[in-house]
Amino acid sequence: MSHTILICDDDTHIRCILAAKLRTAGCIVLEARDGEEGFTAALAHRPALILTDYQMPGTDGLAMALRLATDPLTAAIPLIMLTARGHSVDDETRAKTSIRALIDKPFSAKQVLDQVQRLLSQVATKDAPHADAA
């Protein structure tokens, strides 16, 4: 799995654990500490997928997701949102963004990696040329 993944979380420990797991799986990992850094990194690198925390100081993950959705260069990048129990994203807001999954904290790195692989395979399948296209 050689994809670029952006991890956007203000918790250094979470970023390090997820980055190590993703690098072991063969991913290129970018890191950001808040939604503003995440948005800038997403524009500059256009990762295959973004893992973001919901709650961060400054620009939070939801605000970043909404902002990414308004830019044609980043609107289609799938997001996995990491949330504290009790936080959710309503269907209307999810429809306006590319949030494809919510994972409650605490979570296991394996659980996140499984979700990343599932979403990346869906994107690859969607982007693959169809056999009847010529």
Give the tens place of pLDDT for each residue, 85-112. Answer: 667 788 888 889 999 999 998 899 999 9
**CA 7 to CA 29: how far, in whole Å?**
7
What are the residue boundaries of the structural domains of the chain, listed by start? 6-94
Query: Which candidate, 32, 25, 40, 41, places its Cα nearest to that of 11?
Result: 32
Q: Considering Cα of 13, then 15, then 20, then 24, what sign does the dihedral take? A: positive
Our measurement of the distance from residue 48's CA atom to the centroid of its chain's CA atoms, rounded to an integer in Å, reads 8
pLDDT tens digit sequence for 16-61: 999 999 999 999 999 999 999 999 999 999 999 999 999 999 999 9
Overall fold of domain 6-94? Rossmann fold (3.40.50)
pTM of the shown model = 0.90
Amino acid identity at 98: S
The alpha-helical segments, DSSP class H, found in 25-71 are 35-45, 61-69
